Amino acid sequence: MYQLEKFTRKDIPHLISWIPNAKALLIWSGSGYDWPLDKNQLEQTLLKANYSNSTYLLLKFISDKSVVGYIELKILNPKERAARIGRLIIDPEMRSRGLGKELINSIKEYARDKLDIQILTLGVFNFNQNAIALYEKNGFIITDPKNKTIDFENEKWDLVLMQCQLQ
């Protein structure tokens, strides 16, 4: 049984433990956080999230009473019923067990049924072919194969934009 619950301050140390280095942080968060990730940065994010009228949700993904993932959802345009998935991560010790698929399906259902969202978007780096394949298998299509480029240690990483229509 899987469920999504609001991320809280007590979840911060667990999440930080999943981010081992600057490269993993950038893959997970884009340019949203600085290395090393710390409690203060995540507390600042929590200040704008998870309130009754907030357009920003931080959620933890639970399986058998254990937190196995984390995801963010930002409502982009309430009139168009569009939201953006951000910062999705599965516990490194739990990867390759199908939890990514379950998390994607859970957030799609949550967005559609609880928030009346019809369009989900996300960004993923083009070298992250496993993630792109996961999203495509779960209804996402590439809408912009090179949205922007981020530099990391003499490498250029292209960001791919993807979208899914919810029904």
pLDDT per residue as tens digits for the range 2-21: 999 999 999 999 999 999 99
Residue 31 has pLDDT above 90, yes or no: no
61-86 burial code (b ≥16 CB/10 A, e <16): bbbeeebbbbbbbbbeeeeebbbbbb
Average pLDDT, stretch 123-144?
Answer: 96
Average pLDDT, stretch 27-32?
Answer: 91
- Decide: pTM greater than 0.75: yes
Local structure of 46: helix, strand or coil: helix
28-32, 104-108, 113-117: which range is least confident on average?
A: 28-32
Task: Specify the CATH superfamily of domain 2-117.
Answer: Gcn5-related N-acetyltransferase (GNAT) (3.40.630.30)
In the chain, where the domains are located? 2-117
- Structure tokens that stand for 101 in this block: 């698929």
Q: Which amino acid appears at position 52 of this protein?
A: S
Tell me the pLDDT of the chain averaged across its residues: 95
Share of the chain above pLDDT 70, in %: 100
- How high is the pLDDT of residue 97? 95
Confidence band, pLDDT 50/70/90 cuts, at residue 106: very high
Residue 78 has pLDDT above 90, yes or no: no
Average pLDDT, stretch 131-160?
Answer: 94
